[in-house]
Amino acid sequence: MTAPALTVRRLRKAFGSVVAVDEVSLDAAPGEFLSLLGPSGCGKSTLLRMVAGLVEPDDGQVVLAGEDITRVAVHRRNLGLVFQSYALFPHMTVFENVAFGLRRRGVGETLLGPRVERMLELVRLGPLGSRYPRELSGGQQQRVALARALVTEPRVLLLDEPLSNLDALLRDEMRVELKRLQERLGTTMIFVTHDQAEALILSDRVVVMEQGRVEQIGRPEEVYRHPATPFVARFLGRANFLNGTVAEGESDRTVVALDGGGLSITAGPRQGFASGRPVHVVIRQESIRLEPPRAAPAPDAGVNHFAATIVFHAFAGQAHHYVVQLADGRELEVAAPGATLPLARGARTLIAWRPEDVILLPGGEPRPSDPR
Amino acid sequence: MKRESGWWLLAPALLLLLVAFVVPVAMMVPMSFRPYVPLVGITDGFTVRYYTRLLTDSYYLEIIGRTLALGFTVTLSTLVIGYPVAFFLARTRSRWRSWLTILVVFPLMLNLVVRTFGWIALLAQNGLVNQALRALGLVDSPVKLLFNFAGLLIAMTHIFLPFMVLVLIGAIQNIPRDVEDAARILGASWGSTFCRVTLPLSAPGILSGSILVFVLTISALVTPRLLGGPTYQVMSTLIYDEFLQRLNWPAGSAQALLLTVMVLALVYLSGRLARSTGARA
C-alpha cells in the first residue's frame, strides 16, 4: 500500500468555547478525490483551512506525504486552494493570475509562458489570458481559479465549496469538468461541500461531518446505503424515519415492531440487533414501490406490504413525489419514477419495499436535529 | 412606460453647488481682470497684471511652491503614519476596535482653533517639545518650530490624519481576505502578499485619501495663519490678506482662481490615474 498523500491526525480547533473541529483524523490516498460533506458550521471548512495553514490548529497534526507540516508557513506548503469566492486577483490579467504561483517559485519567463498557456488550454480558457477577472463569467472565473491552483502542481488541491456560487446548470457542467481534470492530472483533491449530490457524484470517498466530528468515512454507495448514524442517513438522500423495537433478531431477517403498535417491518439479514433493542428504521423514499390496490389486500400479501392512501402528489421531473398515509395515520414520503402513471390525491394504493432496502440504526438516543 | 432616471435626486445638491460655489467663482473671473488703484479702489478697465505678477514674481512663486510642497508632504506623512493605523483597525478583531476608531476620530471633535493653539504651546521656543529636546540633551539651543515649514507640517499632519485613516480603513476593509489568502497559498510570503496584492488593491483608498488631505491642506486657513504668523504665507493666507487687509479684490480673485484651478487639475489628474491603474481593483 502506498503512503497516504495527506494525513490528518487528531486535529482540533476551538473558537472560544465552540469546538469547530474535534479530534478529526483521516487519510487521503494519492490521486484520491475525498469530499468533506456536512451542513454549514460542521467544521469542514475549518478543517480544510487548517490543512492549508490559514487556521492554526490547537492540537493534532497535518502530515503531507510523510512530512509533518503542522507548523510550516502557509506559503511553504505547496498546496492549492480554490475558494468559493474564486478569490482571483482583480488587478491582474487572467494570465498574471495563473502565473502568480509560478513567479513566486522563481520559474523563469521562458518556461512560465508555455506552462500558463497549457494550463489555460486545459481549463478551456485559451484565448482569454489578457482579460481581467471582472470581464469573465462566474464559470470562467472559477476555471481561472482552478488553473491558478493547479499550474504549480500542488501536492494536494483543496477546494472549499468551489461550485456553490454557480447556477445549477453551470454547476453540473463544472462538476464533470472537475472530475475529468482530476482523473487526467491525478491530483489528490480534498473537496468541501454541503451538497450531498455533489459529494456522491464526484468522490472516491466521502467524509460526513457534523458538529466538528467525523460521522462516517466511506465510498459514496457505502455511506448512502449503509449509513453509520441517523445523521448520515438523514443528510444523504431523503428518507423516512420510523422508531421501533426489534421483535425477532434472526440470522436471515430482523423484524421490528413499530412504536405505537400495529405494524411491523422486516429488514434484511445480519443487522446484528438483539431482540428488545430500540432502533430507527430508515427507508429511502425511492425504495418504496407503489402498486395498484388489490381487491382484498390481505395482511399476509408479503412482508413490508401496506395499504395506503395518497395524501399529497407533486411532479418533480425525474420523479413523482408522494406522501402516503398508512392505516394507522403514519405518513411516508415516496419518490416514484417519472414514467409511472401518477396517482391522484385520495387514491388508494399498496406500498411495498424489499427487506434489503431497510436500514436499521441503533435508536433510543435523542433524535438528532434535522440537518435540513 | 419610461423608467424614472433618478437624476432629480441630485437636484438639491446641484442647486446648492450652483449658488454657493459656481456663481461666486464665476463672479470672481471678471473681478480678477479689473485694476485696483490704491486709495481709490476697484476701477473700470481691463488688466492681466495680477495673473502675470502671480506667475512671474518670485515672492508669489515661492508661496505657490510652498503651498504645493506643504500639500504633498502633509499628504505623504499622513499616508505613511495613517496606513499602518488603518490597516490595524481594518483587520483587528479586538473588542477595543471601536474605541480605537473613536480615538482616531476624537481630534475632529475638538475645535480647530483650540487644537492649533495646542500646537503653539507645544512648538514654541519655550514649548514642551523644545523643553523635552533640551532635557534629553538632544539640542543645545531651541529648535525653531513655529512660523516655518516644519511647524505647519507637524500640525497639519496631526489635524488631517483622521481623514486619511478613515478613508483607508474603508478601502482596506473592502479587500477580500480570501484574495490575500490565495496569494499566501500560491507561495507569496507576507511581505510579498502585501506588496503585490494588499497595497495595489488599496490604491483607490490611497488615492482618495490623498486627494482629500491634499485639498484640505492647500486650502487650510486657520492653522497656517496661527502657526505661520503674518509673515510665513501660504496661498490661503495670502488670499485672505488680499481680500480683507489690503482690500485688493482683483488680486485676491486671481489668486483664489489659481488655487481653484490647481485643485481641479489635481482632482482631474488623479481621476485619470485611478482609471488607468486603480480602477481595475
Q: Is A53 on the interface with B (CB under 8 A)?
A: yes
Chain A residues within an 8 Å CB radius of B179: 87-90
Q: Are strands A33-37 and A264-267 parallel, antiparallel or unpaired?
A: unpaired
In this prediction, residues B52-72 reach a mean pLDDT of: 95
Q: Is B281 on the interface with A (CB under 8 A)?
A: yes
The ipTM of this complex is 0.83
Assess whether pLDDT exceeds 70 at residue A185.
Answer: yes
Residues in a beta bridge with A320: A315, A336
Q: Where are the domains of chain A?
A: 6-231, 238-362
Cell 490661503 belongs to residue: B236
Instruction: Kindly report, residue by residue over B204-245, the tens digit of the pLDDT.
Output: 899 999 999 999 999 999 999 999 988 899 999 999 999 999
In this prediction, residues A319-340 reach a mean pLDDT of: 85
Q: Is A79 on the interface with B (CB under 8 A)?
A: yes
Nearest to B185 among A52, A90, A134 (CB): A52
Chain B residues within an 8 Å CB radius of A52: 181, 185
Chain A residues within an 8 Å CB radius of B197: 89
Q: Is A75 in contact with B185 (Cβ distance < 8 A)?
A: yes
Looking at per-residue confidence, does B63 or A306 come out higher? Answer: B63
Q: Are strands A278-284 and A289-291 parallel, antiparallel or unpaired?
A: unpaired
- How many pairs of residues across A and B have Cβ atoms under 8 Å apart? 70
Instruction: Kindly report, residue by residue over B73-84, the tens digit of the pLDDT.
Output: 999 999 999 999
Q: Per-residue confidence at A340, pLDDT binned at 50, 70, 90? A: low
Chain B residues within an 8 Å CB radius of A85: 176, 178
**Which H or E run includes A8?**
strand A6-15
Closest-CA distance of chain A to residue B208, Å: 18
Assess whether pLDDT exceeds 90 at residue B38.
Answer: no
Instruction: Kindly report, residue by residue over B115-128, the tens digit of the pLDDT.
Output: 999 999 999 988 99
Nearest to B281 among A90, A104, A105 (CB): A90
Q: What phi and psi values does residue B118 have, to the nearest 5 degrees? A: -55, -45
In this prediction, residues A163-168 reach a mean pLDDT of: 87
Q: Residues of A numbered 279-318 whose beta carbons fall under 8 angstroms of chain B's beta carbons: which are they? A: none
Q: Is B187 in contact with A75 (Cβ distance < 8 A)?
A: yes
Assess whether pLDDT exceeds 50 at residue A368.
Answer: no
Single-letter residue type at B8: W
Q: Are B191 and B239 in contact (CB under 8 A)?
A: no
In this prediction, residues B180-200 reach a mean pLDDT of: 95
Q: 2.40.50.140, 3.30.565.10, 2.60.40.420, 3.10.310.30: which CATH number matches A238-362?
A: 2.40.50.140
Cell 490615474 belongs to residue: B273
Instruction: Kindly report, residue by residue over A276-325, the tens digit of the pLDDT.
Output: 888 899 999 989 988 877 655 555 556 788 888 999 988 888 888 899 99
Q: Is B95 on the interface with A (CB under 8 A)?
A: no
Q: What is the pLDDT of residue A170?
A: 87
DSSP letter for each residue of B43-85? -SS---HHHHHHHH-HHHHHHHHHHHHHHHHHHHHHHHHHHHH
From first CA to last CA, the distance across chain A in angstroms is: 39
Name the DSSP class of B258: H
List, in order of start, the domains of chain B with CATH numbers.
42-280 (1.10.3720.10)
Q: Look at residues A193, A243, A203 and name the one whose alpha carbon lies nearest to residue A223.
A: A203
Distance from C-alpha of A246 to C-alpha of B112, rounded to nearest angstrom: 83
Distance from C-alpha of B187 to C-alpha of A52, rounded to nearest angstrom: 12
Please give the residue of chain B at the shortest CA–CA distance from A53: B185
In this prediction, residues A228-255 reach a mean pLDDT of: 86
Please state, for a pLDDT cut of 70, what percent of chain B lies above it. 97
Region A6-231: CATH code: 3.40.50.300
Instruction: Kindly report, residue by residue over A53-97, the tens digit of the pLDDT.
Output: 999 999 999 999 999 999 999 999 999 999 999 999 999 999 999
Q: What is the pLDDT of residue A369?
A: 44
Q: Is B176 in contact with A148 (Cβ distance < 8 A)?
A: no
Please give the residue of chain B at the shortest CA–CA distance from A52: B185
Chain B residues within an 8 Å CB radius of A104: 186-188, 192
Q: Are A219 and A274 in contact (CB under 8 A)?
A: no
Q: What phi and psi values does residue B112 have, to the nearest 5 degrees? A: -60, -40
Q: Are A368 and A275 in contact (CB under 8 A)?
A: no
Average pLDDT of chain B is: 91
Assess whether pLDDT exceeds 60 at residue A1.
Answer: no
Chain B residues within an 8 Å CB radius of A132: 280
Q: Look at residues B211, B212, B258 and name the one whose alpha carbon lies nearest to residue B234.
A: B258
Please give the residue of chain A at the shortest CA–CA distance from B176: A87
Please state, for a pLDDT cut of 90, what percent of chain B lies above it. 74
Chain A residues within an 8 Å CB radius of B187: 75-76, 78, 101, 104-105, 152
Distance from C-alpha of A227 to C-alpha of A234, rounded to nearest angstrom: 9
Q: What is the pLDDT of residue A370?
A: 41
Q: Is B201 on the interface with A (CB under 8 A)?
A: yes
Distance from C-alpha of A189 to C-alpha of A25, rounded to nearest angstrom: 17
Assess whether pLDDT exceeds 80 at residue A371.
Answer: no
Q: What is the pLDDT of residue A56?
A: 94
Assess whether pLDDT exceeds 80 at residue A271.
Answer: no
Q: Residues of A numbered 141-200 whose beta carbons fall under 8 angstroms of chain B's beta carbons: which are they? A: 145, 148-149, 152
Closest-CA distance of chain B to residue A56, Å: 14
Nearest to B188 among A77, A85, A104 (CB): A104
Q: What is the pLDDT of residue A169?
A: 86
Q: Is B118 on the interface with A (CB under 8 A)?
A: no
DSSP letter for each residue of A155-186? SEEEEESTTTTS-HHHHHHHHHHHHHHHHHH-
Interior angle at CA A193, CA A191 and CA A196, nearest 5:
115
Q: For the CA atoms of B243, B249, B255, B259, what is the dihedral angle to 10 degrees?
A: 70
Q: Per-residue confidence at A224, pLDDT binned at 50, 70, 90? A: very high
Q: Do domains A6-231 and A238-362 have the same CATH topology?
A: no
Nearest to A104 among B187, B200, B201 (CB): B187
